[in-house]
Amino acid sequence: MLSGILLALCYPKISFNELIWLWPIPLLVSLWTLTPSKKTYLKGFGLAYLSGVVFFIINLSWLHHIHIASCLLLSLFLACYFGVWGAFASTIGAAKNSDHSLVVCTSIVSLKSAFLNGAAWCGLEWVRGWALTGFPWNGLGVGLVDELVLIQIADVIGVTGISFITIFCSSIITSLLFRITHEIKNSKLKAHPDFIAGVSLVMFLFAYGTSKLARVPKDQIEIRTLLVQGGIDQDEKWDSDSAQKIYKRYWDMTTPYLKMDNVNFDLVVWPESSLPYSLYDQKTQNYLNQILALKNFELVLGINERIPQDGIYNSVVALKNNTKSARTYQKTHLVPFGEYVPFRKSIPLVEKIAANSLGVDFNPGNTYKPLQMTLPEPYQIIPLVCFEDAFGNLARKFINQSPQLIVNVTNDGWFKESAASEQHMANAIFRCIELRRPMIRCANTGMSCLIDDCGSLYDRHSTFSGGERLIHGTDRSNTFLIASLPETIKIERSQRITIYSKVGDLFSIMMGSIALFVCLLNYFQSFRKINQKTLPVD
C-alpha cells in the first residue's frame, strides 16, 4: 500500500518526481521476503495487486466526475498488470542466490534480478498500451516528465522504455539496502558493481539528454499562431439553447486578434468539438466563412462531421479562405463507453442501454494522413484528438520527412478542477520527444500550450523568452479559463526521423519477450524436475 501511495505522489497534482526511483522499495521488500513455497507467485500477485489498486484509485480519482464506478472498476482491472509483475518479481525476479539467500546475493544476481524485473515491467506497460483498446496513461516514464534531461532517451526507446530504467535502478537500490545492512552488522563493507552499473546508466541518460537539449535548431519555419480556449461548461456544450452563446464566444475571442494591423496570424486553433453543430450544418458553414474572410490565415478546429448514410465522426478540420477548402482527419482511436459502446450491435440489451445513455456512436476514421498547410509556407500538421496524444505508436504513423507540427485538440472539461488536465499534458509531452516534433495543444478546458521538440513549455532558444507558453491561472490546476494565447512556434524545415519513429516500441517488445521467455524456461525446468521425481526407479 505504501508503494502505491508513493507512486501516486509522482504525478500531478503533487509531482514529487524523485519518488519514481524509490516507490518500488517497500513492495520489493515485501515480495523478496516471502517464504519460498509453491504459492509464492500467488502471494506476490496479491501484494503487487494491492499496491496497484491503491495507486490507480488515487491516480485516476478524477474519473469519479464521470462515475465513481468507472474509477473503481478501471483501477481494479489495471492493477492486474501490477499483480502479474509482482508474481514475476517475487519468484523469477527475486534478488536471491540459489540457496534463497537474499542478504548475501552477489552483484551479478542483483543485476540479473534488476534486468528481468525492468524487462517484465516494460513489457507489461507495452501490453497495457494496446490490450482491450489500450490505456497507456501514466506509465512510470511519465512520472519523470519534469526531469527533462533524463527523458530525452524517449526518442530511442519510447516512454515505456524509460520505465525499464526506473525499475532496473529501483531493484538495484533495494538489493543494495539488504546487503549494506548485513555488511554493517558484520563490519565488512564491500564494493558493489551493480550499484555502479545503475549510476552509470543514469549518467548516460544525463549525458544523452544534455546533448539533445544543447542542440541549436537551424533553418526553422516560424508560425504565428493563436490558441483559443473557450472554457465552455459541459452542461452547456451540447445544449441547443447555448449554441448562440458558444458561436459568439469563439467569434469574440478570435476576431479582435485577426483585425490587428501590426500582427498577421498564420494559424488559429480551436479545441475539440468546439462548435455545437456539425461542420456541414449551414449555420456553421456561414459562420466559419465569415471568420475566414477576415484575413489570410488558416483555421484548425475540432468539430463533429455528420455525414449522411455514413455516420458521425470526431474530426479535426483545417480551413483556409472558406469551408470549401476543408481538409479533415477523423479520429481513429475512440474512447470506449465515451464515444462508442463495445458489442453494442451484437447484444440487444447493450444496444438498449446505449441508446438511452450515449445515443449514436461515433465512427472511427481509418487514415493517418497529415493535414497539408500553406502559411507561412508549406508544412504538415499531425492531428491528434483528445487522448490520442497518449499513444506514441499511433502518433508515429503520421511521420515523414516533411516539416511537421503536432496539433492536439481536446476537451478535459468532463473532469472539473482535477489532476486530469495536467496528467493529460504530461503524457502528451512524450510524443514531442519520441517524434522530435513540436506540439500545439488546444483545450476547451485544460492545458492549452505550446511544447517544443524536447518537451519544454518554454521557448528555450529565444533571447526574449518569457515564462511557460501555457494558459493557466494562479496555479496549473486552475484550468477552467476563458483565454486566447498568441504565440510563435518554430518547426525545422529538415526534420529528423527518430529511432522511435521508425521502430516504435521495439525496445519494450524485446524486453517483454525476454521476460516471457525466461518465464516459459523456468516453467519447463520446474515441470521437468517434477517429472523426474515421479519417474519409477528400476
**Domain-by-domain residue ranges, the chain?**
2-214+505-534, 220-332+367-502
Residue 316: all three cell numbers together: 479535426
Provide the pLDDT for residue 505.
98
User: Which class is domain 220-332+367-502?
Assistant: alpha beta
Average pLDDT over residues 335-357: 76
- pLDDT for 19 equals 97
> What SS3 class is residue 320?
strand
What digits encode the pLDDT tens for the residues 79-93?
Answer: 999 999 999 999 999
The grid coordinates of residue 134 equal: 489500450
| Higher-confidence position of 317 and 361 | 317
Nearest alpha carbon to residue 453 among 492, 415, 479:
492
Q: Output the nine-digit C-alpha cell for 283.
A: 449555420
Structure confidence by residue, pLDDT tens digits, 300-332: 999 999 999 899 999 999 999 999 999 999 999
Spell out the residues 6+ positions from residue 529 whose beta carbon is closer than 8 angstroms to its own. none
Tell me what the pLDDT averaged over the chain comes to.
Answer: 92
Judged by average pLDDT, the poorest of 12-26, 132-146, 235-249 is 235-249
CA–CA separation, 292 vs 277, rounded Å? 18
The answer to whether the beta carbons of residues 179 and 95 sit under 8 Å apart is no
Contact 41, 91 (CB under 8 A): yes
* pLDDT greater than 70 at residue 245: yes
Question: Residues 269-273: what's their mean pLDDT?
Answer: 96
Q: What is the pLDDT of residue 309?
A: 87
For the cut 80, the answer to whether the pLDDT of residue 68 exceeds it is yes
Average pLDDT over residues 514-522: 96
Distance (Å) of CA 473 to CA 176, 470, 510? 44, 10, 43
Whole-structure pTM value? 0.94
Q: What is the pLDDT of residues 407-441, one digit of tens each?
A: 999 998 888 888 999 999 999 999 999 999 999 99
Q: Alpha-carbon distance 296 to 298, whole Å? A: 7
Q: Give the pLDDT band (50/70/90) at residue 537.
A: low
Look at residue 189 and tell me whether its pLDDT is greater than 90.
no
The helix/strand count (H/E) of the chain reads as 15, 11
87-121 residue pLDDT tens? 999 999 999 877 666 767 889 999 999 999 999 99
